[in-house]
Amino acid sequence: MKIIVIAAGSGKRLGEDTKNVPKYLIKVNEKTIMECQLDVFKKIPYEKFIVITGPHKEKFTLNNITYVEDRNYPQHDILGSLMEARNYISGEVLIVYSDIIFDDNILSKIVESKSDIGIAVDMNWEKAYEGRTEHPRSEAENVLVNSNEILKIKKNITDENNIGEFLGILKLSAKGSEIFVKKFLELEGIHVGRFHDAPSLQKAYLTDMIQELIDSGIKVSPIMISGKWCEIDTRQDLERTSRLFS
């Protein structure tokens, strides 16, 4: 298995914390988000750990990591940055956002999944938004689930039942990696204009690509998780995460 972390974002909502430091390197208590993730990933076998960097790439100094620089990060959003590492999307791959911290229970559930394309989903997501005034529930990357299949993924799904939240972790089997890259290359060659909820393919989120797979008749499976996790997007999130993972 390869692990790819998308860490090319600027993290502007964290203010001074990310003025001169990548978001992936801000500290939660005494460890960076990167170190917290690596601590969890040590529990599973993987052949390569790949980090996609953007601004302040020189601040990444840990050894035994493969760094891929997204030189066009101002023109990209999450999907564009991820595809800078497309040569590594082969075989079994775990794709992870750089602003989440999660425990061993969650990772175990994801690794055990046999789906070709599976995404980590929390069905008890709403409680995490209580008191979260700087990042309200309307900003959650929601998923609409039907049995063992994802029907819809986008922000602020409010008019349906069986709604969960996408954690920011995508697991691909060898077949899933092939499907994912092939579909992106097809789009790259022909797509113009808006791409789902994004102004363009370059500015798309990973969720836009997942919705494209669904709309193309490709099955995307939910990996139902239970455990402790946090997304760190604001100072308020950082303080909450520090308490939860103290």
| Cβ contacts of 29-32, under 8 Å, gap ≥ 24 | 29/242, 29/245, 29/246
Q: What is the pLDDT of residues 27-69, one digit of tens each?
A: 999 999 999 999 999 999 999 999 999 999 999 999 999 999 9
CA distance 10 to 160: 33
First and final C-alpha spacing in the chain: 29
Q: What is the pTM of this model?
A: 0.96
CA distance 117 to 123: 18
Tokens representing residue 64 in the block: 């035994």
pLDDT at 160: 78
Integer Rg of the chain from CA: 17
Q: If you average pLDDT over residues 229-244, what whole number do you get?
A: 94
Q: If you average pLDDT over residues 196-215, what whole number do you get?
A: 97
Q: Residue 147 pLDDT > 90, yes or no?
A: no
pLDDT at 106: 97
Whole-number mean pLDDT of the chain?
Answer: 94
CA distance 138 to 130: 12
Helix (H) or strand (E) holding 110: helix 104-112
Domains, the chain, ranges and CATH?
2-244 (3.90.550.10)
Higher pLDDT, 18 or 96: 96
CA distance 172 to 190: 24
Question: Per 3-state DSSP, what percentage of the chain is helix, strand, and coil (rounded to 5)?
Answer: 35, 30, 35
CA distance 128 to 142: 13
pLDDT at 85: 98
Q: Residue 159 pLDDT > 80, yes or no?
A: no
Tokens representing residue 212 in the block: 């494209």
**Angle, alpha carbons 140-144-147 (nearest 5°):** 140
Q: What is the pLDDT of residues 97-134, one digit of tens each?
A: 999 999 999 999 999 999 999 999 999 999 999 989 99
Q: What is the pLDDT of residues 166-205, one digit of tens each?
A: 999 999 999 999 999 999 999 999 999 999 999 999 999 9
Q: If you average pLDDT over residues 139-152, what whole number do you get?
A: 94
Q: Residue 20 pLDDT > 90, yes or no?
A: no
Q: Residue 10 pLDDT > 90, yes or no?
A: no
